[in-house]
Copies of this chain bind each other. A is one copy, B any other.
Amino acid sequence: MTIVTALKTRLHRRDLDAVLISQPHNRRFLSGFTPLDHGIEESAGLLLIPSKGRPFLLTDSRFELAARHEAPDFEVILYRKGLLPLLKKLFTRLSIKRCGFESHYTLHSSAEKLLSLGAKLDVELVPLSGIVEKMRLCKDKEALTKIEQAVLLNEEVFQEVYGQMRPGMTEIEVALQIETTMRLRGAERPSFDTIVAAGPNGALPHAVPTSRALKEGEPIVIDMGLILAGFCSDMTRTVVLGPPDSQTAKIIRLVRKAQLAGMAAIKAGVTGKQVDSKARAVIKEAGYGDKFGHGLGHGVGLAVHEAPGLSPRYTKKLQVGMVVTVEPGIYIEGWGGVRLENMVVVEQGGCRLLNRDTTFLDI
């Protein structure tokens, strides 16, 4: 219950009697409740956490068993007639007068209803942004262990599928093979849609797999991640079937050099912007500055994209226990792309690499 206790302290500081949690990752972080929402319009449940006493998990009958099993510290209540009538009862029963809600994960239409209920009951509804996300920034030991397991399983899946890749297979076939292998090996699901982009298709950082057949010699970008025990992994390898041509080998080495420069810059106290610039400088100096159009990395945890960022725009300092990707890339229209992505944990004087796979060193 330490996380919930820490949240309660923050509620006291803001003079809030309670907070309503609707963001699914925050809900899982605080309660352990695993069901997914089918988009923001079909929620699997909300938490109501009063600043004093036992917290509540509000859900419907479909998720009752999961709720009782996974969130034993929460009092599970089913909203049989909708959420608002239940909140009305609870606000009164618990004498809640000021209640926060997640402005960044509540629909405008839902917020309007909530605010009008508050007006009737004389309860002030206070929009909050990021109160729980801030608590998720630095990972504790247990979270780091889970993230590392997600990274290692992802690498096993990559190695299994990489070993079966042959010229003539399509990008879609490889992507499906990856996602199927993830699930057969126990992942909850992919953490995002797998990217397999061969030859010219690799020039788009967010390519969608096509029916293009793999050819020898050209770079093939594989960006893949999975969710295990709630935590995400995210890894990119650029591989070549048969010997790479000289252009491909040169660019892979350059991207790897930029990645190492980025990793060398990571430690607690430096900004995301500083780290990004170290890696970017390597690519710029080689004359490819305009071919690296995205940020160097992003935080990973319960969400596959979360704070902090390693990018020209992120001027806050990195802290011990943050987990970030380091993923420089070079994208050349008509030719293709190369991206290499590993995950590291920020430490006091440096960072710790979570990946063990070194496929790119073959080239």
| Contact surface of A with B, Cβ cutoff 8 Å | 38-42, 61-62, 65, 101, 103-112, 127, 129, 172-173, 176, 180, 183-184, 192, 204-206, 293, 305
B103/A62 in contact, CB under 8 A: no
* Given A176-B183, A183-B172; A129-B109 close (CB under 8 Å): yes
- 7 A-B pairs with the lowest CB-CB distances in the bound complex, closest first: A108-B111, A103-B109, A104-B109, A103-B108, A106-B108, A40-B40, A62-B206
Min CB distance A215 to B, Å, is 21
A107/B107 in contact, CB under 8 A: yes
A62/B127 in contact, CB under 8 A: no
- Residues on B with C-beta less than 8 A from A205 are 62
- Residues on B with C-beta less than 8 A from A38 are 192, 305
Of all chain B residues, the one with the shortest Cβ separation from A107 is B104
How many copies of this chain are found per oligomer? 2
Min CB distance A216 to B, Å, is 24
A112/B107 in contact, CB under 8 A: no
Docked Cα-Cα span, A108 to B110, in Å, equals: 8
B176/A184 in contact, CB under 8 A: yes
- Residues on B with C-beta less than 8 A from A192 are 38
Docked Cα-Cα span, A204 to B66, in Å, equals: 12
- Residues on B with C-beta less than 8 A from A172 are 183-184
- Residues on B with C-beta less than 8 A from A104 are 41, 107-109
Docked Cα-Cα span, A168 to B274, in Å, equals: 55
Of all chain B residues, the one with the shortest Cβ separation from A177 is B180
Docked Cα-Cα span, A110 to B109, in Å, equals: 12
Docked Cα-Cα span, A65 to B144, in Å, equals: 39
Min CB distance A323 to B, Å, is 19
B109/A293 in contact, CB under 8 A: no
B183/A180 in contact, CB under 8 A: no
Docked Cα-Cα span, A192 to B42, in Å, equals: 12
- Residues on B with C-beta less than 8 A from A42 are 305
Docked Cα-Cα span, A112 to B39, in Å, equals: 21
Docked Cα-Cα span, A107 to B102, in Å, equals: 10
A-B contact pairs, 21 of them (CB 8 A): A38-B305, A39-B40, A40-B40, A41-B105, A61-B293, A62-B204, A65-B204, A103-B108, A103-B112, A105-B107, A106-B107, A106-B108, A107-B108, A108-B108, A108-B111, A108-B127, A109-B127, A109-B129, A172-B184, A176-B183, A176-B184
